[in-house]
Structure 1
Amino acid sequence: MSTTTLRDWLLTDTPSSRAQAAWGRRYRLWCDFRANPLAMAGLIVTVLLIAVSLLAPWLATHDPGAQNLANRLARPSAAHWLGTDELGRDIYSRVLYGGRVTLGMVVAVVVLVAPLGLAVGCIAGYVGGVADRVLMRVTDVFLAFPRLILALAFVAAIKPGVTSAIAAIALTAWPPYARLARAETMMIRSSDYIAAVRLTGAAKARIILRHVAPMCLGSLIVRVTLDMSSIILTAASLGFLGMGAQPPSPEWGAMIATARRFILDQWWVPTIPGIAIFVASLAFNLLGDGLRDVLDPKQR
């Protein structure tokens, strides 16, 4: 099938099957997204960050943990593209490997909190009554505390480390998703097609899984993408405060913490991982804004 024929098949106003209609809708969303240059920039930078993090073993020029005290705090050069830190370790290689740690934490948190928030919100919004009041009061308790402070309390109660940081951020990040899913569900549950499904005798669990939850996914995806930047900042903050990834792990926040005393004289040591955090956060924000414009019907 040629490109022109495929495009016509996707954009036809009279699809011959549900699959053709679904792919046509996805293609139209992609065309709308592609028309936003900032969103495309965010997507490209995000893909590049993920790619270079995954390919760190092949792209790194040095062992990220190898020390060379004779070459400590060296300026950027041909031998060390971004200079070296206080222990003579190559900053470029450590930033690449640090992306695996930081972005890996973000992915782990999202995988944990998105399904949890979706499940809690859909159940509370559709079932209502006592279940809604209990679930929302639990959600309110978690929302009453600042995310970083609550994450610090959880990590301190367990022990510092990547696994503890992921669990702590996940425990503090799910309430906004539950609130969003509940609001979407309360609008969906009174619609005609949900009433028709209910008349067929479908159980509540089936209605929530097959009909309500899929309708909430668009808003949830947008919220998750926008929240990734705050998750990156929280993970980096925990590392900076010594509660996240522990040295000598090349995590961006921990790298800034160990090098902050050199910011005036050897500026590149703490600045480079700071720039990495900034670029990753900005890319996810731009990507989230673009997805919101495409997936939110109120923005169209």
Structure 2
Amino acid sequence: MTVAAFETAAAPGAERRRSGTLVAGAVIVSAVVLAAVLAPVVATHDPLAQDLTGGLQPPSAEHWLGTDQLGRDLWSRIVHAARTDLRVGVLAVIAPAVIGTAIGLIAGYFGGWAERIATYLVDVNLSFPFYVIVLAMVALLGTGDIAIYVTFALVAWVNYARVVATVTAGFVRENWVVAARGGGLSHGRVVLRHVLPNALPQIVVILVGDIVFVILAVVTMSYLGLGIQPPTPNWGGMISDGQAFLATRPWIALFPGAAILVTGVGFSLLADGVADRVRSGR
């Protein structure tokens, strides 16, 4: 069998794997998002209601995943925490995507001084550890959503800028960009109407993957007491609350940890599936 014939025979299997990854990720993410959206409906109890006489109960018909040390229903808190963490995770990637894409488009399109400035900004950004910036923002803005959004706006734009700059620099040499400029179109029109739409698939791939990173970072910040604050349900805070009971009441920390794992796997599979589709041009 020739190499070409072998690749042709193997292509359907590879395509099925790519489609399977994308579908699996989409199903998991859809299920998590649906649970978050329908949290007021699917929750069996008020996630903030305390019952000090019913604390640390194991899973049962009344409390599907048990209760925490304050008698709060874990299932209800987990699905409401999904609303909080997904909302913060999605909103926190918007500003970095916009900032990084803008910097990457300018650096890649104009090159020269623009590229040097972008490279300098990237180097400065990478010289500061992520959690040093987190601590600085918490000191300036306090804990909560705003500090999270500002932190990721300052930090997470780098990948977008790098990828978009590289892609844009390649587009600039293409005949269709040269023809657009020769036809009298302004730089802004060429970038926004022609270059940006062609760079969007790469941006979407980074965006989906970044949601995983942001959610995990938000969970870590909340676990350390720097992110979402009580009494708002959030997975990081729930794991922190359950840490003291791992030996005797492990479900308090394990169930929110499982929710994080499922969500992370779902978004990772979705990002891989989208990336495969982009690479295959479909």
Q: TM-score, normalised to structure 1's length?
A: 0.85
TM superposition shift of 1:209: 0.6
Q: Number of matched residues?
A: 268
Counterparts of 1:224 and 1:59 in 2: how far apart (Å)?
A: 29
Corresponding position: 1:104 with 2:87: yes
Offset at 1:272? Answer: 0.8
1:257 paired to 2:240: yes
Q: Separation in 2 of the partners of 1:202 and 1:185?
A: 17
1:85 to 2:64 alignment: no
* 1:196 maps to 2:189: no
What amino acid sits opposite 2:255 in the alignment?
A: I
Q: Deviation per CA, 1:246-274, whole angstroms, max 9, x where unpaired?
A: 11110111111122111111000011111
Q: Which runs of 5+ in 2 are unaligned?
A: 1-14
Deviation at 1:296, TM superposition (A): 1.8
Partner of 1:275: 258
Shift of 1:83: 0.4
Whether the 8 Å CA contact 1:71–1:88 is kept in 2: the answer is yes
How far residue 35 of structure 1 moved from its aligned partner, in angstroms, is: 5.9
Tell me the residue number matched to 1:161. 144
Instruction: Please tell me whether the aligned partners of residues 169 and 235 of structure 1 are also in contact (alpha carbons under 8 angstroms).
Output: no
Q: Counterpart of 2:230 in 1: which secondary structure?
A: coil
**Superposed displacement of residue 55, structure 1:** 0.8
1:171 corresponds, among 150, 154, 158, to: 154
CA distance in 2, matches of 1:215, 1:280: 29
Q: Find out whether 1:220 has 2:203 as its counterpart.
A: yes
- Give how far 1:33 is off: 7.8
Distance in structure 1 (CA, Å) of the matches to 2:149 and 2:233: 16
The 2-side partners of 1:146 and 1:225 are apart by 23
What is the distance in 2 between the residues matched to 1:79 and 1:49? 22
Counterpart-to-counterpart distance in 2, 1:208 and 1:80: 55
Q: Distance in 1 between matches of 2:155 and 2:279?
A: 25
Which digits, 9 at most, give the CA deviation of each residue in 1:109-150, with x for residues without a partner?
Answer: 122221221111001110122222112211221122333442
Q: 1:178: Cα distance to partner?
A: 0.7
Match of 2:53 in 1: 70
| Corresponding residue of 2:129 | 146
1:133 to 102, 116, 133: 116
Q: Which amino acid aligns with 2:267?
A: F
Paired AA for residue 140 in structure 1: D
**The one of 169, 180, 195 aligned to 1:186:** 169
| 1:200-236 per-position Cα deviation (integer Å, ceiling 9, x unaligned) | 1111111111111111111111111122211111010
Q: Which runs of 5+ in 1 are unaligned?
A: 1-31
**Contact conserved, 1:33 with 1:39, CA < 8 A, in 2?**
no
Distance 2:40 2:167 in 1: 43
Give the structure 2 partner of residue 237 of structure 1. 220
Aligned residues of 1:169 and 1:234 also touching (Cα < 8 A): no
Deviation at 1:107, TM superposition (A): 1.0
Inter-partner Cα distance in structure 1 for 2:52 and 2:65: 16
Residue in structure 1 matching 2:190, options 181, 188, 207: 207
Q: Assess if the C-alpha contact under 8 Å between 1:34 and 1:40 holds in 2.
A: no
Following the alignment from structure 1 to structure 2, what is the Cα–Cα distance between the partners of residues 215 and 145? 32
Once the two structures are overlaid, the 10-residue window that deviates more, 143-152 or 154-163, is 143-152
Deviation at 1:158, TM superposition (A): 1.6
Match in the other structure for 1:121: 104
3-state SS of 1:105 partner: helix
* Partner residue in 2 for 1:43: 26
The answer to whether the 8 Å contact 2:18/2:273 transfers is: no
Give aligned-pair identity as a percent. 38
Q: Is the 8 A contact 2:67 2:252 kept in 1?
A: yes
CA distance in 1, matches of 2:153, 2:177: 31
Secondary structure of the 2:93 match is helix
